[in-house]
Chain A
Amino acid sequence: MSWTESGFGSNDYWLLALIIITWSVFFCLPKIFSKQFTIFIFVYSLTIPSIMDNSFGVVPFNYYDIMDGPKYTGMDLVVYLLYPPYGYLFLFFYKKFCIDDKHIVFFISIATIASICFEWVNHKMGVFHYKNGYQIIYSPSFYLISQTLLVLYYRMVELKH
């Protein structure tokens, strides 16, 4: 397994810069969740995209490639470093703005729009390559479900304590 398929290009530099920025944002944010729950957010944010990529990104579906091409490379794994700070940021705002039942749908919709914009920028920068008829318009369904599940789990755990 190599690091890249076609050498270190602009998409790799973009990805590394983005990872540095997102993790810097994470470290600057106040830690409002316990260590255990932060680990949960990280693992959740890693697992959901992993399942999606390894299900819909491979043959027979093969709807998209990550980074340079279809091969599984080191940089494909580095992409996953983007997701944990994003997951933390999502729940951070949820907690910080004390989102109640009335506004939860609105909050998840905004977060989904933000996620799509983030994905679109990454698509333009060559991190994701859609193929076999896949379009970015299909992505909101994944974001809506995964973000709703995360909020539901958070509320369930919070209620328990």
Chain B
Amino acid sequence: MIVTFYIFISWMLIGLFLFNKIQRHAPLNEVTLLFLISCLINTHTYVGLFDTFNWMKTTTDTELFIGVLIYKNVFVPLLITCFSFLIDRNPRTKKILFLILFTLIILCVDLINVFQGLYSFKQWNHFYTIIYFSIFLFTILVILKWYRGLVLSSGGKNNVVD
């Protein structure tokens, strides 16, 4: 059930990028880069930090683990990418609203994951999850700014070949 749930909401987020307004404000190269960086950070954090330091215990059940894989490699990167563009392009008041919405989504998803047994907390709680994802989102926003600065420093040319 949890696998279907994550496939469905990931599909919804992909749909947002492909068919909705977000695409007009987010160039393909930026979306791809942010998605890949989010994947990279998140996959190493779960295995390298949470599991290694025994802060969380990820499930060893194969079916639930597939849910964990979709959650950390597809859903979270898509959500972070989506919200980084929403926060980046909107005025300050809307930024705060989107940040609150992001926090609520993360909290709900974290509650569902713990309830469904995707992972269990050892030296961790929901508040730490919110802090982790806020820092994560902020890092992605900084990377987005840096990447755009790189494009500007190359004379606005966003070409493939020099």
Q: Hey, what's the 0/1 contact readout for A24-41 against B, CB within 8 Å counting as 1?
A: 000000011111110110
Point out the residue from A34, A61, A72, A157 that lies within 8 Å of B47, measured CB to CB: A72
Chain A interface residue count, CB cutoff 8 Å, equals 33
Given A35-B154, A50-B40, A51-B43, are A157 and B48 also a contact pair (CB < 8 Å)? no
Interface pair B147/A1, CB less than 8 Å apart: no
Interface pair B69/A33, CB less than 8 Å apart: no
Given A60-B60, A157-B28, are A35 and B150 also a contact pair (CB < 8 Å)? yes
A55: chain B residues at CB < 8 Å are 43, 69, 73
Tell me whether chain B's interface is mostly helix, strand or loop, or mixed: helix
Cα–Cα distance between A1 and B48 once the two chains are bound (Å): 9
A32: chain B residues at CB < 8 Å are 161-162
Given A34-B162, A59-B60, A157-B29, are A44 and B150 also a contact pair (CB < 8 Å)? no
B126: chain A residues at CB < 8 Å are none
Interface pair A34/B160, CB less than 8 Å apart: yes
Cα–Cα distance between A61 and B60 once the two chains are bound (Å): 9
Point out the residue from B37, B51, B158 that lies within 8 Å of A36, measured CB to CB: B158
Interface presence of A47 (CB below 8 A) = yes
Q: Hey, what's the 0/1 contact readout for B133-162 against A, CB within 8 Å counting as 1?
A: 000000000000001001100100111111
Please report which residues of chain A, range 1-60, place their CB below 8 angstroms from some CB of chain B when the two chains form the complex: 1, 31-37, 39-40, 43-44, 46-47, 50-51, 54-55, 58-60
B39: chain A residues at CB < 8 Å are 47, 50-51
Shortest CB-to-CB span from B131 to chain A, Å, is 21
Shortest CB-to-CB span from A43 to chain B, Å, is 5
B37: chain A residues at CB < 8 Å are 43, 47
Point out the residue from B32, B147, B160 that lies within 8 Å of A161, measured CB to CB: B160
Interface pair B158/A34, CB less than 8 Å apart: yes
B60: chain A residues at CB < 8 Å are 59-60
Interface pair A36/B44, CB less than 8 Å apart: no
B36: chain A residues at CB < 8 Å are 40, 43-44, 47
B62: chain A residues at CB < 8 Å are 60-61
Q: Hey, what's the 0/1 contact readout for B4-37 against A, CB within 8 Å counting as 1?
A: 0000000000000000000000001100110011
Q: Hey, what's the 0/1 contact readout for A96-127 against B, CB within 8 Å counting as 1?
A: 00000000000000000000000000000000
Interface presence of A131 (CB below 8 A) = no
Query: What 10 pairs across the A-B complex have the smallest Cβ distances?
Result: A54-B43, A54-B47, A47-B36, A47-B40, A72-B52, A43-B36, A60-B60, A60-B62, A59-B60, A158-B160
User: Which residues of B line the A interface, CB within 8 A?
Assistant: 28-29, 32-33, 36-37, 39-40, 43-44, 46-48, 51-53, 58, 60-62, 65, 69, 73, 147, 150-151, 154, 157-162
19 further A-B contacts with Cβ under 8 Å, apart from A55-B73, A160-B28, are A32-B161, A32-B162, A34-B157, A34-B160, A34-B162, A36-B150, A37-B159, A37-B161, A39-B33, A39-B147, A40-B32, A43-B33, A47-B43, A50-B44, A51-B73, A54-B47, A61-B62, A61-B65, A156-B28
